[in-house]
Amino acid sequence: MDGKCSAQGWVYSALAEVCRRSSPAAKDEVSTMLETLLPILIFTALALAVIGAVRRIRLWRQGRPSRVNLLQGLMALPRRYLVDLHHVVGRDKMISNTHVATAGGFVAAAVLMILVHGLGIANPLLGGLLLLASTSMFVGSLFVARRRLNPPARLSKGPWMRLPKSLMAFSIGVFLITLPTVGLLPDGLVEGSGSWLLALVLAGVVVWGLGEMFFGMTWGGPMKHAFAGALHLAFHRRAERFGGGRSTGLKALNLEDEAAPLGVEKPTDFTWNQLLGFDACVQCGRCEAVCPAFAAGQPLNPKKLIQDMVVGFAGGSDAGYAGSPYPGKPVGEHQGAPHAPILAPVVMKEGKALVDAETLWSCTTCRACVEECPMMIEHVDAIVDMRRHLTLERGKTPNKGAEVLDNLIATDNPGGFDPGSRLNWAADLNLPLMADLKQVDVLLWLGDGAFDMRNQRTLRALVKVLRAAEVDFAVLGAEERDSGDVARRLGDEATFQSLAKRNIATLAKYRFQQIVTCDPHSFHVLGNEYGDFLQEGQGGSDFNASYEVRHHSTFIAELYDAGRLTFAPWKGGSVTYHDPCYLGRYNGEYEAPRRVLKALGIQVAEMERSGLRSRCCGGGGGAPITDIPGERRIPDMRMNDVKESGAELVAVGCPQCTAMLEGVVDASAEVRDIAELVADALVERPAGDVSGVSRRTTAVTTAEEVTL
Amino acid sequence: MSEIIRRDPRREWIARNRLHPDHASVLAALGVNSEGGGAASEWLGPNGVVRKNPRAIGFIGPNGVKRIDRSGLQQGRQAAATTTAARDSRRRVTIDQPAFLVAVVPDLTGGRLSSHDKDLLGLARRVADADAEQPGAVVAILFGEHKGEGDGEHKEEALGDAGIDRVVHLDDELYAGFAPEARLAVLSAVEREMTPRFWLLPDSPLGGADLGRRLALRLGERAATGVWQVEVDNEASLGWRCTTRGAAGSLDIQRPLPRVALALAECAEPMDETRHAAKCQTLAAPIPITLSRIEDLGQVAVDPAGVALAEAEFILSGGNGVKQWDAFHHAAKVLGATEGASRVAVDDGFMARDRQVGATGTWVTARVYMAVGISGAIQHLQGIQRCDKVVAINLDPGCDMIKRADLAVIGDSTQILAALVAMVEQQRGGQRDAA
Amino acid sequence: MRPEQQQKQQKPGIDVAVLVSIGRHPTTGRARRAEQDARGLELALAMEAELPGSRIDVLHAGSQDVDSEAALRSYLGMATGVGMGLESMTLLEQPEGSDAILPLVEHLAATSPQLVITGARAERGEGSGLLPYALAEHLGWPLVNSLASIETVENGVITLLQALPRGQRRRLKVRLPAIISVDEAAPAARQSAFGPARRATFLVAPTTSEADSELAQWHLSPARKRPKRLKIIKAASARDRFKAAASKAEGKGGQVLTDVTPEQGAEAIYKLLKEEGVLR
């Protein structure tokens, strides 16, 4: 506050100066005045920015500690910003270029301005560069303004609407005050009494620009994203995401430490770099645009959630939020404070806590928002953190959640089935058991789909394929348990860890090269999340190194490449492929399923949203269990996507997706698992081909065609 | 009956003339009148000779072929006559000087012996009649009104038919409703006066389970509960050994049969070959009046719609095929059914989530499950596995629900429901008028 | 402020003892909170709204080991966001195979709660459902079985709804102190949360215990499947018996009515409903 006042004070004193002396020697005096005024303005704004920064940092440091290598993070910052972040931003070329021009221009202009006007190094070369930078920034800001002319619904309004004007004010102001430095000042322009007025206007414009760009950066204006965003990139909680890596497994709770909070109750229970991450949000609404729950009219909007977290740790109400609300929940009724519970413990009569529980339970953990976020904010982590508190501390897992968790505890599967009946579906298949063989090439992980009559068809198909390819495989049978995926997404970390540890102990008894599963959720959990729970002597220090986990589509693709499978040509109609979130976004496997379909002779008619941007089926994250009502159903929307692609059949690779998409009434397309399609197309290998001629070469071209 | 055979030439003529409008009724009359026991296929001819019409004999078999059953049992009338005869042939048993007594306290739900009661009486008889030389007597203590079974003379015989020798009947306001203390006082009095060797009660939620346990503790006996099998065991103190269900039905416990036993349904075969006296007895000593600390304020009206799905005995369930939900709700109300729904109906917002039936909703155990416009997704069918009777109304004769249903009606659900509602309302109206 | 509030609240509140046992999951046999006991605790917890200031004493008589401890803790995991003294449970420690009735009677007589809530039957051991009755007989308190909900507690009289089969209810008024037993008709127990369960403590009370010698003599075995009752035909003639035995089983494949008028269809359904006796 006081920053703004003092800035205004400068304007007034300048005004007083103007009133006192209005003489013919105005021109000189005007330039002298600007020369004295500018350094003062610049350094005041910088000082205020520093004060704001300290204040902001103290807000973030309310969070719990988190181990981050600060120096290394800062060193990696330029690369993370210029390469990784722009990789995400670059998906929208227009905005990417606009941002390069504006942000690049601003950073250059700010540095040069400090040198030229702040420190008075009136080097014409520097001045020229400064002019160039401010011009670039101006051009960029024009594009920003154009985007704001008729902004899409996902963009936040409010203060963000003035940002292009502020950018212009800064760039124009800097441009004009730099003109004298390079001696380009047109003489007639500042003569006469008009010159004072002009100088005044100029000073005002510069003050506005400086206020927004420097002061607003650390005091909570739209430019906050630059400051918080840079630090967020430097101290990101998942450093592995930078440099092309992937980090999608949830972070484990330390249950040994009884003092550690179980999940997040109040904003300060987040780690400090999570809080910092929330502050980095630019409210671009890309997350909102891809969120399946938001599209279905469920009360979740990832952008609003992140903004609510900011409101939480800074204190206040969400009334200042100017974007789309949570569907069905008006803005302005919720408030929070750093040490106040985010979710109301009991139903309150007046006013509401920061977030309603159903907002958190609407999430399908599809990670579309995380992948789409240009600031690389981790929405899913935050949601699961808060869910953990609800489940572990309050026992408030909604709808069927409590029952499912009880079943997982008592029977090791979410349906409450007799664990001994896990292999009943395969009574006629004579599946080899791990307990008998001890050592095989491939461990077939069945997943809980083994209890589901629909998924049993998929499993049968997969077994047929494995047998056709003469794969040396076995199953755990009754020794297998739920992977813990559902328990973990429902926030029950205790049950997850118990399942994980017991599964790891079972796996450690046997020797195998890889695990193959037709359930991407098990695939993700086994491959990406079990690593945290290894003890000494269980597969060594690097669990994942002792074997690989594969999705069945990957494995089938490999078998085909190795020439171990032969298919009859596809005779059906047009086919599209639905990417399961836990296979695609969580594990980056977009190509293998398409390769398999290609091998079957299927030309995939891609849906508008596919691959990285595939839309969730609505089956992840325990969403079908918590079942938060919306206006539409997510699988219905997805089946509509299928319909629009014109496909008569949608190939999937996940039991959840199969169940969700098949649950759509009056669907236009049939739902088949890839394993089923492959099993149907199997033909006896011709005698001459038994030598096992590799199809590797053809496969490479196939892959290229798909990526094209 | 006179020896003289009187002839009615006109009726004989009609009987011969198959085109005569009265032909059938005359044939029938002749059939009944004839002592020979035949139906219309046999009659007394004009000369007093029995005539037969071979075409009228027999019946059309299941394959559409005419079958002749020489034993003549096909005729409904005759079959009924045989059963009456069998009934009458049941052995009458009177035990005047019993060696011991077996006391039974049936639930007498709704004034009638339930099948559980009858099984229990069967068990009581087994225990009482084990030694044919020295039979025991079964004494039943009945609380509340006894309505009997059937009508006419059979009504009063129901108790004896079930195997009861003696009856202590207490039909007093005092014992109505939930009155465990008053009932216990009666049983204590019976214990003092008659000292039965065994007390048998049904282990049922209808009252027996509660009363039996109270009695056991009052008598200081460690009751056997959940008894489902009783065998002779000479080593046991009372000569019997029983198998009971323990630990929530997961354990079988074999133990000597104690004095007080609470038995499950189907613990023994009900009696049907003997008829017992069911002689009424009164207790000699007056029953001490206990001051009850429990006051029964009467039964509370329960809205069937509010009954939990898992508990409901009659569910009307709607799915995607239901087009007029108002009519559906109305039907549920008139039929007194609890409402259920398929997942689709819930997803579409027509029904609340807690009404969803199926693997992902509630597993139901209704006696009658009526599925309206539900095609029968596998998850739904899983949820209704334990229903006794399934009625399906659907437009699609090929859907899975029809295959599961015990009765399926193909047609427009709205119309059929409306007709059903009209039928029920008409019947109700008729009953009310009559009453 | 706080003590005053508590004093104010202490007036309407009553002391409730909830007896809990270690349950057994029906399919896996793992230790868990017993279904009925948990419903009993749920009833007690629900009284918080009705009778603020009520105190709950959770009681368990038995031995303490790793398995049973987890099961017992899961009861206390239900105490989320309620006070009522649910941070701990009283453990009447006794060796395996002891009779639980004696120590419970002693403890209840000493602490004299106004209301004792217990599940109707245990999921382990004999599971005869005699315990509530034994307590009632020993303590001389009235007992109500199959409780559905507690309506009011006023002046030492509790008004409650008793569950009858098929969702019917009966209203009863009972003078306190009383014992209430709970079966499947009571509202389902709330979720047990890991955090409060982990923090819960046990107050171990020494007890006199007596081995259950009678139970030890009985022969216990896993439940056999009960034979399905055969339809025994007692017919007058051999021919009838043969016919009954040879006749096709009924009900295989239902009756399907196609091309009937709505009235005919409705009539068939009406007949079935009447036969099943579901139309009142």
Residue A52 covered by a domain:
yes
Name, in order, each residue with C-beta under 8 angstroms of C87's C-beta and a sequence gap of 6 or more.
C76, C79, C196, C199, C200, C201
Residue A400 covered by a domain:
no
Q: Please tell me the least confidently modeled range out of A139-148, B14-23, B77-86.
A: B77-86
For residue A261, cis peptide bond before it (omega within 30 degrees of 0): no
Residue A408 covered by a domain:
no
Instruction: Dump strand ranges (E) for A434-529.
Output: 442-445, 473-475, 514-517
Does residue A649 share a domain with residue A677? Answer: yes
Does residue A630 share a domain with residue A573? Answer: yes
Chain B closest CA to C186's CA: distance in Å?
Answer: 11
What is the spatial distance between Cα C58 and Cα A572, in angstroms, rounded to a whole number? Answer: 65
C196 touching chain A per CB within 8 A: yes
Q: According to the model, what pLDDT value does residue B3 have?
A: 59
Does residue A378 share a domain with residue A470? Answer: no
B71-96 pLDDT, tens digit per residue, is 545 443 333 333 444 445 667 888 88
Rounded to a whole number of angstroms, the CA Rg of chain C reads: 25
CATH number at residue A542: 3.40.50
Q: Which residues of B touch A (CB under 8 A)?
A: 320, 343-344, 347, 349, 353, 359-360, 377-378
What is the spatial distance between Cα A384 and Cα A248, in angstroms, rounded to a whole number? Answer: 13
A262-306 pLDDT, tens digit per residue, is 999 999 999 999 999 999 999 999 999 999 999 999 999 999 999
Inform me whether the pLDDT recorded for B336 exceeds 90: no
User: Which residue intervals of chain C are DSSP H helices?
Assistant: 2-10, 35-50, 66-76, 101-111, 131-139, 194-199, 213-217, 238-246, 262-276
Q: What are phi and psi of B263, to 5 degrees?
A: -110, 150
At A639 the three-state DSSP class reads helix
Q: How confident is the model at residue A695 (pLDDT cuts 50, 70, 90)?
A: low
Any chains having at least 3 CB pairs less than 8 A from chain C are A, B
Nearest Cβ partner for C25 among A396, A410, A492: A410
Q: How far is CA A538 from CA A504, A508, A533, A545, in A?
A: 8, 6, 10, 12
What CATH class does B304-434 carry?
A: alpha beta
**DSSP annotation string for B97-138:** S-SSEEEE----GGGS--HHHHHHHHHHHHHHTSSSSS--EE
A400 touching chain B per CB within 8 A: yes
Nearest Cβ partner for B343 among A400, A629, A663: A663
Q: What angle do CA A238, A244, A249 make, to 5 degrees?
A: 40
For residues B300, B305, B310 and B314, what is the CA-based torsion angle, rounded to 10 degrees? Answer: 100
What is the spatial distance between Cα C268 and Cα C270, in angstroms, rounded to a whole number? Answer: 5
Chain C closest CA to B188's CA: distance in Å?
Answer: 14
Q: Which residues of chain C make contact with B354, given a CB cutoff of 8 A?
A: none
Burial of B166 (0-12, 13-18, 19+ CB in 10 A): buried
Look at A393 and B32; give whichever has higher pLDDT.
Answer: A393
Q: Please tell me the least confidently modeled range out of A193-207, A399-413, A586-600, B151-165.
A: B151-165
Query: Which chain B residue's Cα is nearest to A665?
Result: B344
Structure tokens at B166: 């003696």
Look at A79 and B110; give whichever has higher pLDDT.
Answer: A79
The contacts found for B6-14 with CB under 8 angstroms, 24 or more apart, are B7/B46, B7/B48, B9/B46, B12/B45, B12/B46
Q: According to the model, what pLDDT value does residue C214 have?
A: 83
Q: According to the model, what pLDDT value does residue C62 have?
A: 87
Size of interface A-B (CB pairs under 8 A): 14
Q: Average of pLDDT values for B161-166?
A: 89
Chain B closest CA to A311's CA: distance in Å?
Answer: 34
Q: According to the model, what pLDDT value does residue A582 have?
A: 95
| Residue owning tokens 């704004």 | A45
* HSE value, Cβ hemisphere, 13 Å, CA-based, for A674: 32
Mean pLDDT of chain A: 87
Q: Which residues of chain C make contact with B405, given a CB cutoff of 8 A?
A: 254, 256
Q: According to the model, what pLDDT value does residue C4 have?
A: 43
Last residue of a domain, one of A503, A537, A557: A557
Q: Average of pLDDT values for A429-444?
A: 93
Query: Which chain C residue's Cα is nearest to B253?
Result: C220
Q: According to the model, what pLDDT value does residue C232 have?
A: 61
Residue A402 covered by a domain:
no
Does residue A315 share a domain with residue A229? Answer: no
Q: Which residues of A touch C (CB under 8 A)?
A: 258, 262, 345-346, 391-397, 401-402, 405-406, 409-412, 416-419, 492, 494
Structure tokens at B259: 């004095």
Does residue A459 share a domain with residue A589? Answer: no
Cα B293 to chain centroid distance, Å, stands at 35
What CATH class does C2-217 carry?
A: alpha beta
Rounded to a whole number of angstroms, the CA Rg of chain A reads: 30
At A27 the three-state DSSP class reads helix
Does residue A516 share a domain with residue A593? Answer: no
Confirm if A436 and A510 have CB atoms less than 8 A apart.
Answer: no
Residue A543 covered by a domain:
yes
User: Which residue intervals of A179-271 are DSSP H helices?
Assistant: 193-210, 216-219, 224-234
Name, in order, each residue with C-beta under 8 angstroms of A632's C-beta and a sequence gap of 6 or more.
A295, A296, A297
Structure tokens at A501: 């540890």
Q: How confident is the model at residue C253 (pLDDT cuts 50, 70, 90)?
A: low
Structure tokens at A497: 């860890």
Confirm if A463 and A431 have CB atoms less than 8 A apart.
Answer: yes
Query: Which chain A residue's Cα is nearest to B359?
Result: A415
Does residue A281 share a domain with residue A229? Answer: no
Rounded to a whole number of angstroms, the CA Rg of chain B reads: 29
Find the length of chain C: 280
A568-588 pLDDT, tens digit per residue, is 999 889 999 999 999 999 999
A512-523 pLDDT, tens digit per residue, is 999 999 999 999
Q: What are phi and psi of B390, to 5 degrees?
A: -115, 125
Q: According to the model, what pLDDT value does residue A407 have?
A: 94
Confirm if B243 and B263 have CB atoms less than 8 A apart.
Answer: no
C95 touching chain B per CB within 8 A: no
Look at C143 and B114; give whichever has higher pLDDT.
Answer: C143
Q: Please tell me the least confidently modeled range out of A353-362, A694-703, C160-169.
A: A694-703
Q: Which residues of chain A make contact with C198, given a CB cutoff of 8 A?
A: 258
What is the spatial distance between Cα B119 and Cα B121, in angstroms, rounded to a whole number? Answer: 5
A624 touching chain B per CB within 8 A: yes
Does residue A590 share a domain with residue A481? Answer: no
| Proportion of chain C above pLDDT 90, given as a percent | 38
Q: According to the model, what pLDDT value does residue A12 have?
A: 45
Does residue A192 share a domain with residue A150? Answer: yes
Q: Which residues of chain B make contact with C185, given a CB cutoff of 8 A?
A: 311
Residue B50, H or E segment: strand B50-52
| Proportion of chain A above pLDDT 90, given as a percent | 63
Query: Which chain B residue's Cα is nearest to A635?
Result: B347
Judge: B295–C255 Cβ closer than 8 Å, yes or no. no
* HSE value, Cβ hemisphere, 13 Å, CA-based, for B321: 23
Q: According to the model, what pLDDT value does residue B89 have?
A: 61
Does residue A204 share a domain with residue A176? Answer: yes
Residue A407 covered by a domain:
no
Instruction: Dump strand ranges (E) for C51-191.
Output: 55-62, 88-93, 115-119, 143-144, 147-154, 157-164, 168-175, 178-182
Q: Average of pLDDT values for B342-348?
A: 86
C156 touching chain B per CB within 8 A: no
Structure tokens at C122: 């245990």
Choose from A417, A656, A665 for mutation: most chain B CBs within 10 A. A665
Give ipTM to 2 decimals. 0.84
Last residue of a domain, one of A523, A557, A591: A557
B370-386 pLDDT, tens digit per residue, is 999 998 887 788 788 87
Q: Average of pLDDT values for B110-114?
A: 80
C242 touching chain A per CB within 8 A: no
A475-527 pLDDT, tens digit per residue, is 999 999 999 999 999 999 999 999 999 999 999 899 999 999 999 999 999 99
Inform me whether the pLDDT recorded for A14 exceeds 90: no
Judge: B347–A624 Cβ closer than 8 Å, yes or no. no
Judge: C278–B249 Cβ closer than 8 Å, yes or no. no
Query: Which chain C residue's Cα is nearest to A260?
Result: C195
b/e per residue, B180-213, with b = 16+ CB within 10 A? bebbbbbbbbbbeebebbbbbbbbbbbbbbbbbb
Q: How confident is the model at residue B149 (pLDDT cuts 50, 70, 90)?
A: low
C272 touching chain B per CB within 8 A: yes
Q: What residues does each domain of chain B span? A: 9-88, 95-281, 304-434
What is the spatial distance between Cα B206 and Cα B116, in angstroms, rounded to a whole number? Answer: 10
What is the spatial distance between Cα C175 and Cα C182, in angstroms, rounded to a whole number? Answer: 18
Domains B95-281 and B304-434 share a fold: yes
Burial of C249 (0-12, 13-18, 19+ CB in 10 A): exposed
Q: What are phi and psi of A259, to 5 degrees?
A: -85, -20
Strands of the sheet containing C147-154, edge to edge, are B294-300, C168-175, C157-164, C147-154
Inform me whether the pLDDT recorded for A703 exceeds 90: no
Q: Which residues of chain B make contact with A629, given a CB cutoff of 8 A?
A: 349, 353
**Bridge-partner residues for B295, per DSSP?**
C173
Q: Which domain range does residue A38 map to?
A: 2-234
Q: Positive or negative CA dihedral for A107, A108, A109, A113? A: positive
**Right CATH number for B95-281 from 3.40.50.300, 3.40.50.620, 3.20.20.80, 3.30.360.10?**
3.40.50.620
C19-72 pLDDT, tens digit per residue, is 999 999 988 999 999 999 999 999 998 887 777 888 889 999 988 788 788 999
CA proximity to C14, closest of C183, C204, C175? C175
Chain B closest CA to C1's CA: distance in Å?
Answer: 39
Q: According to the model, what pLDDT value does residue C99 have?
A: 85
| Residue owning tokens 């920003």 | A144
For residues A25, A31, A35 and A40, what is the CA-based torsion angle, rounded to 10 degrees? Answer: 90
Does residue A538 share a domain with residue A571? Answer: no
Q: According to the model, what pLDDT value does residue A11 have?
A: 44
Name, in order, each residue with C-beta under 8 angstroms of A410's C-beta and a sequence gap of 6 or more.
A416, C25, C27, C28, C30, C32
For residues A484, A489, A495 and A501, what is the CA-based torsion angle, rounded to 10 degrees? Answer: 40
Structure tokens at A425: 């579906």
At B341 the three-state DSSP class reads strand
> How is residue B321 annotated by DSSP?
T
Q: According to the model, what pLDDT value does residue A708 have?
A: 37
Mean pLDDT of chain B: 82
Q: According to the model, what pLDDT value does residue C175 have?
A: 92
At B187 the three-state DSSP class reads helix
Judge: A415–B359 Cβ closer than 8 Å, yes or no. yes
At A220 the three-state DSSP class reads coil
Q: Positive or negative CA dihedral for A297, A302, A307, A312? A: positive
Nearest Cβ partner for C193 among A395, A410, A412: A395
Judge: B405–C254 Cβ closer than 8 Å, yes or no. yes
At A122 the three-state DSSP class reads coil
Does residue A699 share a domain with residue A596? Answer: yes
| Proportion of chain C above pLDDT 70, given as a percent | 85
Q: According to the model, what pLDDT value does residue A30 have?
A: 64
Q: Average of pLDDT values for C138-151?
A: 92
Inform me whether the pLDDT recorded for B33 exceeds 50: no
Inform me whether the pLDDT recorded for C233 exceeds 90: no
Q: According to the model, what pLDDT value does residue A701 have?
A: 41
Inform me whether the pLDDT recorded for C256 exceeds 50: yes
Q: Which residues of chain B make contact with A453, given a CB cutoff of 8 A?
A: 378
> How is residue A439 annotated by DSSP?
B
Q: Please tell me the least confidently modeled range out of A68-82, A346-360, B149-163, B406-420.
A: B149-163
Q: Average of pLDDT values for A595-624?
A: 93
Q: How confident is the model at residue A706 (pLDDT cuts 50, 70, 90)?
A: very low
Residues of chain C with CATH 3.40.50.620: 2-217
Inform me whether the pLDDT recorded for C217 exceeds 60: yes
Chain A closest CA to B177's CA: distance in Å?
Answer: 36
